[in-house]
Amino acid sequence: MVCHARPWLALALALCAACLEYTPPAPPSPSEATNVRASFGQTWDAVIDEFADRNIPIRTIERASGLVATEQLTVPLSAAGDADCGRVGTYPPRAPTHAIYNVLVRGDSVRSTVKVTMRWMYIAEKTSIECSTRRRWEQALEDTARLRAERVAAAASFALPTLPASRSEADPGPALPAGRSAGRAEPAPSQPAPAIAGSPSGRFSCAGVARGQLPEQQDELRRLYVGDLRRAGIVKCVEQLPPDLVRVMVGPGFESLPSETREAKLSRLYGMYGSWGRVYLELWTETGKFAEYVDGDYRPIQTPRTPGQGDGAP
């Protein structure tokens, strides 16, 4: 009886072994670096910011060689579709459990490239498998870093005029508050004036204004820059009112900025909307409007305007 059973047992073992046979992943397709219309420095800073935003610890950071690298790190379950670690028998493909991140930035003062290379791995007890990337995570990081860098490059390309150091008596220009020097954006008053009662545009609230995405969803550069300001606590929200009005509800970090830094932030924010032509950038707090930024000119409190009123409107 035992002798007759042995052939069936051998067949069962053979079938079981076939079911558990490991099939390695196919090699990844070759890929090129992503071209960036920004300088090496702008792209480098964008990559570092991306690592910081994603809370990825960096082991090696060599600006001279353009290299950023990490230790071997665990990856979340959401990375299952980012790499193929092969399969056992008819089971679904194994998902990566660990990865080493490497980023290489090349370029000059005008153009640059960024290339992300991931070493994905499946590591378990007594098992270590090299995985094949699907280039999803890498391409997403390259694209986001590119948008960050190009956003900064686009904003920096706007040459905004500043007020002259002095004005003649015949052309005194807008009145400046006491203690403020011409040509520099000064800190906002610590106690902004209340909103104008009875004015249809005398109040501005972030309620109903998209915080995660601007109304012009296709303008990724603008959205990312405003997102950076929002995460830093410099603004709470931004409302676009075509053809020429942008309202900014400032955050708690705005008043703590040095005047030079604040001027740079306002210039870049103003520049992001420069494609409209002349834009009125209004600065608000919860209690009302306290300033306006136009053509590089920081102006004290003025009556809230409606779109298209023009420079001489109240």
Find the CATH number of the domain harbouring 43.
Answer: 3.30.530
Q: What is the pLDDT of residues 181-218, one digit of tens each?
A: 334 334 344 333 333 222 334 678 887 675 544 444 44
Q: Does residue 169 belong to any structural domain of this protein?
A: no
What confidence score (pLDDT) does residue 156 get?
66
Domain identity same for 192 and 126: no
Provide mean pLDDT across the span 51-64. Answer: 89
Task: Give the domain-ending residue among 137, 156, 175.
Answer: 156
3-class SS string, the chain: CHHHHHHHHHHHHHHHHHHCCEECCCCCCCCCCEEECCCHHHHHHHHHHHHHHCCCCCCEEECCCCEEECCCEECCHHHHHHEECCEECCCCCCCCCEEEEEEEEEECCCCEEEEEEEEEEEEECCEEEECEECCHHHHHHHHHHHHHHHHHHHHHCCCCCCCCCCCCCCCCCCCCCCCCCCCCCCCCCCCCCCCCCCCCCCCCCCCCCCCCCCCCCCCHHHHHHHHHHHHCCCEEEEEEECCCEEEEEECCCCCCCCHHHHHHHHHHHHHHCHHHCCCEEEEEECCEEEEEEECCEEECCCCCCCCCCCCCCC
The answer to the question of residue 122 being in a domain is yes
Q: Does a structural domain hold residue 140?
A: yes
- In a domain? residue 17: no
Same-domain check for residues 187 and 120: no
Tell me the pLDDT tens digit for each residue of 291-305: 888 877 888 877 777
Q: How confident is the model at residue 273 (pLDDT cuts 50, 70, 90)?
A: confident
Which pTM does this prediction carry?
A: 0.50
Is 165 domain-assigned? Answer: no
Quick one: pLDDT band at residue 176, thresholds 50, 70, 90? very low
**Does residue 121 register a pLDDT over 90?**
yes
Average pLDDT, rounded, for the chain: 75
Q: Which domain holds residue 254?
A: 183-314
* Last residue of one domain, picked from the residues 119, 138, 156: 156
> How confident is the model at residue 174, as a pLDDT?
38
Whether the per-residue pLDDT at 180 is higher than 50: the answer is: no
Q: How many separate domains does the chain show?
A: 2
Which of the pair, 312 or 161, is modelled with greater confidence?
A: 312
Higher pLDDT, 240 or 99: 99
Query: Are residue 92 and residue 202 in the same domain, yes or no?
Result: no
Would residue 241 count as lying in a domain?
Answer: yes
Instruction: Report whether pLDDT(55) > 70.
Output: yes
Question: For position 40, what pLDDT does the model report?
Answer: 94
